[in-house]
Amino acid sequence: MPEIDGHNGTGQLSLSTAAARKLSSTTKSVPQMQSITPRWLLDQLPWVEARGGAYRVNRRLNYTLGDGRLSFHATGSAVQVIPAELTELPWLRNFADTDVLQALADRFTQHEYEPGEVLVAAGTRADQLHLLAHGRITKLSEGEFREESTLEILADGDYFGNEALIGPESDWTYSVKATTACTLLSLPKSAFQELLEQSEALRDQLERYRATKGKSQNAHGEAGVEVMSGHRGEVPIAGTFVDYELKPREYELNIAQTILRVHTRVADLYNEPMDQLEQQLRLTIEAVRERQEHELVNNKDFGLLHNADFSQRIYTRSGPPTPHDMDQLLNTVWKNPGFVLAHPDAIAAFREECTREGVSPETVQVPGSRLSAWRGVPIYPCSKIPISDRRTTSIMVMRTGESEQGVIGLRKTGLVDEYEPGLSVRFMSIDEKAIVNYLVTCYYSLAVLVPDALGVLENVQLGSAHGAHR
């Protein structure tokens, strides 16, 4: 009996589409992957060959004595006070025993604090010297009417607890609270006393300090600097030389690896119209490159966020990223800034602040896209920059290239079975389950040649409260 069409009661007069599709070949897309991003950082970094698997950054020896503030050396997220800088402490001024200074510097321990955390509570035992490597803290005391009053605001290079270390036992007369994320180096009094017992030179220095304490002296302990100018005749001219860091930073290439597994049956029987191995490899490499960019931003050893010099990190005025904040950020890398890197949410927050203040960010054309810019510097989106639970993030600006003494990417090309520059795909084996194994390996790192090549605007608040009042 002929099939009856339910709509008009007539029989089917032609081949149905459902039957026809049995003989057709569906047009297919290649496998899609939502986690693929533009990866602007990988695209914009100039890549330098690290032939020996490492890259050494030689710099001029550079630290400032006599300015009353301490300087620190950071290797990734690890921070250490420069031993010679300890002579900024009043009781170590003009102390020249480098071995003792090094031993003292080695006894400091690093601590991290979040905004709002109490570092020191009034009334507790004062038995540590604290050096503020990075961040802002507030010294607070209780007023006459039990109100909280601010005694002092401390920032990078400041210290507190000096007398607690070398004076008689006492309690803290004030509290200390972190107003931003902070990095502190602390020296317990017990560790200091241990070194004091071992070093006669340190004991003599402390006795001299106590003997001269209170006498008139330069607040910064500055020594005279002889400067010759306007001289005539055959006057002997002082000579000089440029000293280098004795322990320059070396960046070893990092590695990202994975094993791609493809069953021989899949490769043999289902390889048309698309090459299964090729598509598996394409998506695997995309994932490796995404991980590579994430590490270049976040790795605690060489990542951008952890390798910015403390002097190159600034804070927003009020939380949201305003045009003024962006001007201050560009000022940290004023010598030919290349580009700004920010989370897409941070870019949206900046645009909102521009709208609120009645200004408009520029738009620039870059290969393959149009981007927002500020003062002619393009702002590239990067989803790898983290956003904290408090909805804060960071915005970075950098100068790039070896010739510009900027930020550079590191890699090694010419690898065995190299598939892309710095990335190899190596056949490993076919196991007893007929699965083919390929080792995918990528080598990379990143170096900041001089501190002023990278600037970071920290504690950028997302989700401005301004909109709630409009």
pLDDT at 231: 53
Contact 132, 156 (CB under 8 A): yes
Chain segment 238-249, per-residue pLDDT in tens:
555 566 777 788
CATH number of 72-209: 2.60.120.10
Please list, in sequence order, all residues whose beta carbon lies within 8 angstroms of the beta carbon of residue 104, skipping any fewer than 6 positions away. 83, 86, 187, 192, 195, 202
Cα–Cα distance list, 428 to 62, 219, 347 (Å): 49, 67, 44
Chain segment 303-345, per-residue pLDDT in tens:
999 888 877 888 888 889 999 999 999 999 999 999 999 999 9
pLDDT at 163: 81
Contact 178, 158 (CB under 8 A): no
DSSP bridge partners of 340 = 379, 397
Q: Average pLDDT for residues 139-164, to the nearest whole number? A: 79
- pLDDT bracket for residue 401 (50, 70, 90): very high
Nearest C-alpha neighbor of 139 from the set 113, 109, 172: 172
CA distance 275 to 282: 11
The span from the first CA to the last CA of the chain, in angstroms, equals 72
pLDDT at 62: 58
Cα–Cα distance list, 90 to 67, 132, 244, 401, 421 (Å): 12, 16, 27, 41, 54
% of the chain at pLDDT higher than 90 = 46
pLDDT at 222: 32
Amino acid 304 reads L
Q: Say if residue 152's pLDDT is above 70.
A: yes
Residue with tokens 């030689």: 58
Higher-confidence residue of 266 and 236: namely 266
Burial grade of 296 (CB within 10 A; 0-12, 13-18, 19 or more): buried
Pairing of strands 170-171, 125-126: antiparallel
Locate 404 and state its tokens. 């510009």
CA distance 192 to 202: 10
> What long-range pairs does 215-223 form, CB within 8 A, spacing at least 24?
219/68, 220/66, 220/67, 220/68, 221/66, 221/87, 221/88, 221/90, 221/93, 221/94, 222/66, 223/66
Higher-confidence residue of 143 and 214: namely 143
Range 86-108 burial, b when 16+ CB lie within 10 A, else e: bbbbebbbebebeebbebbbeeb
Please list, in sequence order, all residues whose beta carbon lies within 8 angstroms of the beta carbon of residue 155, skipping any fewer than 6 positions away. 132, 135, 136
Chain segment 217-234, per-residue pLDDT in tens:
333 333 334 445 555 666
Chain segment 343-399, per-residue pLDDT in tens:
999 999 999 999 999 998 899 998 888 999 999 999 999 999 999 888 999 999 999
pLDDT at 7: 53
Chain segment 187-213, per-residue pLDDT in tens:
998 999 898 889 898 988 888 887 766
Please list, in sequence order, all residues whose beta carbon lies within 8 angstroms of the beta carbon of residue 395, skipping any fewer than 6 positions away. 321, 326, 329, 340, 341, 342, 346, 350, 385, 456, 457, 460
Neighbours of 402 (CB within 10 A): 11
pLDDT at 216: 39
Locate 300 and state its tokens. 């605690």
Chain segment 30-88, per-residue pLDDT in tens:
889 898 999 999 999 999 999 889 999 888 765 555 556 788 888 878 889 999 888 88
pLDDT at 467: 43
- pLDDT bracket for residue 143 (50, 70, 90): low
pLDDT at 292: 96
Q: Where in the chain is the domain with CATH 2.60.120.10?
A: 72-209
Geometric angle at alpha carbon 52, from 49 and 58, rounded to 5°: 75
pLDDT at 445: 96
Contact 135, 178 (CB under 8 A): yes
- pLDDT bracket for residue 447 (50, 70, 90): very high
Residue with tokens 């989803």: 383
H-helix or E-strand containing 285? Answer: helix 276-298
Residue with tokens 């070893």: 252
Locate 330 and state its tokens. 């560009």
